[in-house]
Amino acid sequence: MSMLSFEINGEKVDVTSEARTSLADLLRDEIGLTGTHLGCEQGVCGACTVLVDGVPVRSCISNAASCQGSEIRTIEGFDDDPVMVELRAAFNRHHALQCGFCTPGMLVMARDIVTRLGDVDEERIRVELAGNLCRCTGYAGIVKAIRAVIVERLERGIANDVPAIESLGPAGSGHAAPSGSFGGPAAAAEGVARETQRRLKAPTGLGDADRAPAVTQKVTIAAAPDAVWARFGDVSRTIRCIPGATLVSEQDGLYEVRMRIRMGPVGADFSGVAAQRRDEATKSGVITGEGRDTKSASLARGELGYRISGPMEGPTEVDIRIDYVLSGALGQFARSGIVTHFIAEITRQFAANLERSLAGDDAPADDELRITGSLGAAFKAWIGAAARRLLGR
Ligand code: FES
Ligand code: FES
C-alpha cells in the first residue's frame, strides 16, 4: 500500500492505494465518486473518462499511482461549470441520452471538444468522439447537442481557451519528465511552442467570461498611458522588468524565458515559453506562458491579462488579472493562499522596475526573485505548518 495525494474536484485528497489499483477503481471504491462509469475496463468505451491535469484520460487503464499529485476532475466536479451546464441542457434538448451509462464520459469529452477546439463541425465532433461508445442513441443527438453548444458560444463571442497539451505524460498529465528546452528532447519544447502559437490565435481580451479571475491587481505607474502601452508591446524590454525573469531567446513572437525564484530554503528555476496578443482599441493584452521547474518537476501555466487606462499625461492605471495553474511539487504552494501575496509582490516589484525603466534606467531586474520580509516570514510559517501536518503534530 502507498499513500497518494491528489486534488480531486478542487479538494485535496490523501488516500492509500494498492500498487495495481486503477484510477477508476480508486475514484469509485475508495473515494465514492461513482459518477465515473466502468464499461469495458480495457480502454475502449470511454465511459470512465475523467480529466487529469485538464486532459481527458481513460481512468480504467490509468494506474492511480502514476497520477500522484495530479488534479483530477470527475463528472461530479462539473456541477457549476458553465460549459457543462450548457452541455447538460443541450443533451436534454437533443435527446442525447437514453440509459445514461455512457453520459458521464461523453459529457467530459464533449466539454473538452467545446473548450479545446472551438468552432468544429459535426464531422470533426464525430472523430473526436470516436473513443466514446454509446449503445443506445446512435450518436446523432449527442453530436447535435455538442454542435449546438459550440454555435451558442460563438454567437456570444466566447472563444475556446483551454490549453491543449500536446506532449502527454503519464496518464496525460503535466507530470511527464521535463523535456525539450526544459531539459529533454526538443520535440516537447516544440509542442509547447506550437501550443502557445495556437493560443495566440484566440481573440484578445482579459479571458473567457466564464473563467473566474485567480488574482487581480491594480497598479499605478508614473508615466503616460501611451508610453506604458508601447513598453508592454516591447516584450523583451518588459521581461527585463520582471524580477527573476531572463529572456533566453526570441523567435516568431515566442519568447523563451527563464524565471528564478528563492523563498527561504525553497528555490525554483522555471524555463518556458511565452507569447503575447494585444488589442490596440481597448489598450489591453494577454501574455500566455508555460514553464517547468526541472528540480521540483513542477509545471506553471498561466495567463496575464492587462488593461491600460488613465489621463493622457499620466499616471497610468494598469488592471492586471492572472489565471494560473501550478502543479507538481509546488502545487501545494498554490493551494496555500500564499501565492496570492507572492503574485502581489511580483506585481509590485514589476511596476517599480517598469517605472524606473520608463524614466530611462534600463538596467535589468535582479536575475533571481528573492522573497523576504513579511511574505518570507509567512512562507516560513507555512512550511512549518506543512511539516507539522506531515508529521501529524
Ligand atoms: S471502462 Fe474505461 S474505456 Fe471502457
Ligand atoms: S445512452 Fe445508453 S449507452 Fe449511451
What pLDDT was estimated at residue 179? 32
* Helix-, strand-, coil-residue percentages of the chain, each rounded to 5: 40, 25, 35
Closest atom of ligand 1 to CA, residue 38:
1
Whether 91 shows a pLDDT value over 60: the answer reads yes
Query: pLDDT-derived band of residue 391, with 50, 70 and 90 as boundaries?
Result: very low
Report how far residue 105's alpha carbon sits from residue 108's, in angstroms, rounded to the nearest whole number. 5
Residue nearest atom 2 of ligand 2, based on CA coordinates: 99
Measured in angstroms, how far is the CA atom of residue 47 from the centroid of ligand 1?
A: 5
Rounded to the nearest integer, the mean pLDDT of the chain is 78
Whether 32 shows a pLDDT value over 60: the answer reads yes
Whether 45 lines ligand 1, by a CB cut-off of 6 Å, is yes
Whether 102 shows a pLDDT value over 90: the answer reads yes
Report how far residue 308's alpha carbon sits from residue 218's, in angstroms, rounded to the nearest whole number. 10
Longest distance between any two alpha carbons in the chain, whole Å: 69
What pLDDT was estimated at residue 79? 92
Grid coordinates given for 384: 512549518
pTM, entire model:
0.48
CB of 338 within 8 A of CB of 382? yes
Closest atom of ligand 2 to CA, residue 100:
1
Average pLDDT over residues 32-44: 94
Q: Which of residues 261 and 38 earns the better pLDDT score?
A: 38
What pLDDT was estimated at residue 41? 93
Q: How far lies 88's CA from each of 104, 108, 383, in Å? A: 10, 11, 42
Report how far residue 72's alpha carbon sits from residue 50's, in angstroms, rounded to the nearest whole number. 7
Q: Which residues contact 361 (CB under 8 A, 6 or more apart)?
A: none
CB of 173 within 8 A of CB of 70? yes
Whether 156 shows a pLDDT value over 70: the answer reads yes
Q: Which of residues 256 and 46 earns the better pLDDT score?
A: 46
Average pLDDT over residues 33-42: 95
Note the pLDDT tens digit of each residue in 286-335.
888 777 776 666 677 777 788 999 999 989 999 887 776 666 556 656 55
Whether 351 shows a pLDDT value over 90: the answer reads no
Concatenating the DSSP letter of every residue in 12-36 gives EEEEEE-TT-BHHHIIIIIS--TTS
CB of 112 within 8 A of CB of 150? no
Question: Which helix (H) or strand (E) is 40 found in, with range?
Answer: none
Q: Which ligand gives the minimal distance to the CA of 142?
A: 2
Q: Which of residues 338 and 256 earns the better pLDDT score?
A: 256
Q: Which ligand gives the minimal distance to the CA of 102?
A: 2
How many residues are there in the chain? 393
Whether 30 lines ligand 1, by a CB cut-off of 6 Å, is no
Measured in angstroms, how far is the CA atom of residue 101 from the centroid of ligand 2?
A: 5
What pLDDT was estimated at residue 380? 57
Average pLDDT over residues 115-123: 89
What pLDDT was estimated at residue 332? 56
Report how far residue 234's alpha carbon sits from residue 360's, in angstroms, rounded to the nearest whole number. 15
Grid coordinates given for 296: 521540483
The 10 Å Cβ neighbour count of residue 79 is 10
Measured in angstroms, how far is the CA atom of residue 37 from the centroid of ligand 1?
A: 8
CB of 137 within 8 A of CB of 16? no
Query: pLDDT-derived band of residue 74, with 50, 70 and 90 as boundaries?
Result: very high
Whether 38 lines ligand 1, by a CB cut-off of 6 Å, is yes
Helices (H), the chain: 23-25, 82-93, 103-117, 122-128, 140-155, 186-200, 225-233, 235-239, 331-335, 338-358, 373-391
Measured in angstroms, how far is the CA atom of residue 129 from the centroid of ligand 1?
A: 14
Average pLDDT over residues 30-47: 94
Note the pLDDT tens digit of each residue in 193-245.
444 444 434 433 333 433 434 577 888 988 999 999 998 888 888 888 888 88
What pLDDT was estimated at residue 301? 72
Average pLDDT over residues 115-142: 92
Least confident of 152-166, 241-255, 342-356: 152-166
Report how far residue 120's alpha carbon sits from residue 60's, in angstroms, rounded to the nearest whole number. 28
Whether 172 shows a pLDDT value over 90: the answer reads no
Query: pLDDT-derived band of residue 265, with 50, 70 and 90 as boundaries?
Result: low
CA geometry: angle 171, 173, 177, nearest 5 deg: 95
Q: How far lies 131's CA from each of 95, 116, 278, in Å? A: 20, 17, 37
Grid coordinates given for 324: 494560473
Residue nearest atom 3 of ligand 1, based on CA coordinates: 43
Average pLDDT over residues 326-352: 69
What pLDDT was estimated at residue 7? 92
Report how far residue 137's alpha carbon sits from residue 364's, in angstroms, rounded to the nearest whole number. 61
Report how far residue 21's alpha carbon sits from residue 351's, in angstroms, rounded to the nearest whole number. 49
